[in-house]
Amino acid sequence: MVEPAPGRRLRAGSCSNSEVASNLFCGVKSAGKDNFMSNPPTTPSPTPAVPEPPKTPSGPTINIGEEFGTAKKNLPSGKILVIAIIVLGIVVAFVSFLRRAKPQASGTLDNVVAVEIPGQDSTMVALTFTIHNTSDKILYVHTLQASVKTPAAPDSVVDAVSAVDFDRYFQAFPALKNGSQPALSPEAKIQPGESTSRTIIVAFPMKLEAFNQRQVLAAVIWPYDQTVPIVLSK
């Protein structure tokens, strides 16, 4: 093997003298190698896969538009709605009528005695009545009143005087005692099914002449825990 002269180096891609015969194309190979490294072969990019079209499902299909429908198809007609509203209103009115508040008792206004109070333009009246507890609960009296309707006074309502003053009024106006019964007082109670006759005394702010022109006179009893009074009129 021939060594290269001192100070002389072989260039890349060159061959020694002993390698010339066996490697005839050494320089060609080296040149080809250099060219290959400087220009590497280009790898072709893969072709993108084309998506397949969706397959048509076999069997029955569902039409979403028909499934959810429209207001025109799902809602009843206007006539049916009107009829339903009318029927509902009738039912509500009927139930309200059956469940409306009713007086706890009934009765009659049996006797009325009136006297004029001198110098006061007022009339004292004793009202005697019979009251019957028609409920299944004890009737507890809360408030006692009387009302009168005259051409001059469409509706005059006054409270009853205290029962403890009955004797004093009877002494001052003996006529009030005619046909009277024991006084009915607040806090009095009437048992279920019980009937009783009682008297209340009131004073209306009108002269006896105006009172005698009355159109309606009534004793009004308000029980506890009731929204409707017991009205005994004549």
How many structural domains compose the chain? 1
Residue 85 belongs to some domain of the structure? no
pLDDT in the model for residue 103: 86
Residue 170 belongs to some domain of the structure? yes
pLDDT in the model for residue 82: 79
Cβ pair 178, 113 in contact under 8 A: yes
Residue 184 belongs to some domain of the structure? yes
d(CA 2, CA 19): 9
Q: Which residue has the higher pLDDT, 48 or 102?
A: 102
pLDDT in the model for residue 161: 96
The model carries a pTM of 0.59
Q: What is the pLDDT of residues 17-65, one digit of tens each?
A: 444 444 444 444 444 444 444 555 555 566 666 666 666 555 555 555 5
Residue 164 belongs to some domain of the structure? yes
CATH of the domain at 125: 2.60.40
Residue 117 belongs to some domain of the structure? yes
d(CA 63, CA 71): 17
Q: Which residues contact 131 (CB under 8 A, 6 or more apart)?
A: 105, 106, 107, 184, 190, 195, 196, 197, 198, 221, 230, 232
Residue 87 belongs to some domain of the structure? no
Burial of 185 (0-12, 13-18, 19+ CB in 10 A): middle
d(CA 186, CA 140): 8
The residue-averaged pLDDT of 97-117 equals 85
pLDDT in the model for residue 153: 83
Structural domain range at position 162: 105-233
pLDDT in the model for residue 83: 83
pLDDT surpassing 80 at residue 101: no
Which H or E run includes 101?
none
Residue 143 belongs to some domain of the structure? yes
CA angle 133, 140, 220 (to 5 degrees): 70
Q: What is the pLDDT of residues 169-220, one digit of tens each?
A: 999 999 999 999 999 999 999 999 999 999 999 999 999 999 999 999 999 9
pLDDT surpassing 50 at residue 2: no
Residue 128 belongs to some domain of the structure? yes
Which H or E run includes 223?
strand 216-223
